[in-house]
Structure 1
Amino acid sequence: MQLDVRDVSFAYGQRLALQGVSFTVQSGRLNALLGPNGAGKSTLMALFSRLYRLQQGDILLGELSIRRQPRQALRQLGVVFQQSTLDLDLSVRQNLAYHAALHGLSRRQAAPRIESELQRQGLLERQHEQVRQLNGGHRRRVEIARALLHEPKILLLDEPSVGLDQASRLALNQHIRLLCAERGLTVVWTTHLLDEIQAEDPVVVLHQGRILAENSAAELVHSSGTASLGDAFARLTGQTEAA
């Protein structure tokens, strides 16, 4: 499913966080939303998920408008926020069952989906452990499993690798790419870390609330006349690195 952002602006009081933001997310791919901290990435995620109401512009999921058809649109979304929202005292399975109930799934409907996601995320052997006993990488996998239980077409991941070591970060990144390949899932992965982006990935560069570029990582490097994505980012933003 395609996601279109159309002329979205948003302000916190007098501070403008997003200014006329428009871009298209490609279906069935990992799409990187790249920008330094404070660029507006998390504000966009909050607008996608309706934590904040749109002030200007619209966001379309296929033909569904978040502004005009919020309930139908949100059914197409799975979201993993930067800050974990798991209940640490519940088991992995209990967290998933609770989320399924919130989405209106009966126990009969939820059981095979939970089993499938536990297997897909490599969590079957840990399903009865309290979430607080898991490391950061496994907690992220629980959140991804939870976000996919209602079978969304689009998965939003807001800085999902924050707090993970490099090996766990790259393993999680590869895991999400596998989900795209296996399920045709459309993913928006927000990051400030350049090593999480591959040459063929669609990339949107966000800086100070504005879109500076939208293309594949390889084309961004080529069009900037630089040798790497880091150099291209520096040329676009005037910063030496995205972090």
Structure 2
Amino acid sequence: MLATNPVISFDAVSKSYGALKALDAVSFSVEEGAIVGLLGPNGAGKSTLFQVAAGLFAPDGGSVAVLGKDYGDASSDILRQLGVVFQARSVDLDMTTRANLKFHGQLFGLSGKLLAGRIDAVARFLDIGDLLDRLVRTLSGGNQRRVEIARALINQPKLLLMDEPSVGLDTTARLALVEHLRRERDAHGTSILWSTHLVDEVEAADWIVLLAKGRVVLAGTPAEVIASAGTETLAEAYVALTGGSRPPTEPDDSRP
């Protein structure tokens, strides 16, 4: 996306692990208020890109700017305005939902009535109000994911990064997750970069970036991607352009 006011931009970002080049000159940006779907098969480099985007790794080459700032100069300013949902669950299973949200909010300097209000607001928004005083380990996988997203939204981020957030969820829970996040964008203008290998999660995104073997294969609106591939659906375009073996519209049950 040729963003005029990008919340995050990648400029020729490269990252290697020994001889393995995980990212190879990746360039694209996310416009303010946009949902951008990062589609790619397992091993495409999506998780590495998210770790770079979240400031966990520095790229070997190229640069990343978040809200016009560089991690090297303004990491604390960036992190205050960032929400991240990683592929691996990171909530404390032995704490209640409320305690998880309170702890995370305190990391952002929130306290007292302001923090309590934020907890109530995200709980209402994600329909987890009745789960606030339950231990997270007693919740279903879908509800645990909603707690993770609530935690990522507690600081009212300008940019939400999500790396395969639906891993382990059934179809009903996945589609509910998609709906909640679309509501978040519509209600608060939150920009979302959503990494997935499941096409139906992002087929209504504003922009699609196809990633394969660490490179951007194609970027455009869903209609533009379909037209470029000469297919009838985004799932078919994904397969044609990334070399996938089947349209990945359902979770792979072989994954842990």
1:100 corresponds to which residue? 105
Distance 1:62 1:36, change over 3 A: same
After TM superposition, list the pairs within 5 Å mapping 1:50-129 onto structure 2.
50-129=55-134
Distance 2:61 2:78 in 1: 18
Which stretch shifts more, 59-68 or 156-165?
59-68
- Pairwise CA RMSD: 1.5
* Runs of 4+ with deviation above 6 angstroms: none
Aligned residue among 164, 180, 188 for 2:185: 180
Structure 1 residue 201: deviation in Å? 3.0
Relative to the length of structure 1, the TM-score reads 0.95
Distance 1:207 1:137, change over 3 A: same
Structure 1 residue 54: deviation in Å? 2.5
2:161 corresponds to which residue? 156
Structure 1 residue 70: deviation in Å? 1.7
8 Å CA contact retained: 1:203, 1:217 = yes
1:205 corresponds to which residue? 210
1:201-231 CA distances to partner (integer Å, 9 max, x unpaired)? Answer: 3100000000011101111101222111122
Which stretch shifts more, 13-22 or 48-57?
48-57
1:44-103 CA distances to partner (integer Å, 9 max, x unpaired)? Answer: 111111221222211112211223322212222100011111111110000001111122
8 Å CA contact retained: 2:236, 2:247 = no
User: Is the partner of 2:87 in helix, strand or coil?
Assistant: coil
Aligned residue among 122, 127, 136 for 1:131: 136
1:30 corresponds to which residue? 35
1:14-52 CA distances to partner (integer Å, 9 max, x unpaired)? Answer: 211000000011221221000000000000111111221
Aligned residue among 12, 19, 24 for 2:17: 12
Distance 2:75 2:107 in 1: 17
Distance 1:218 1:240 in 2: 22
User: Is the partner of 1:69 in helix, strand or coil?
Assistant: helix
Distance 1:102 1:124 in 2: 22
Unaligned runs of 5+ in 1: none
Relative to the length of structure 2, the TM-score reads 0.90
Aligned residue among 119, 141, 150 for 2:146: 141
User: Size of the alignment, in residue pairs?
Assistant: 243
In structure 2, give the amino acid aligned to 1:34. L
Distance 1:46 1:226 in 2: 32
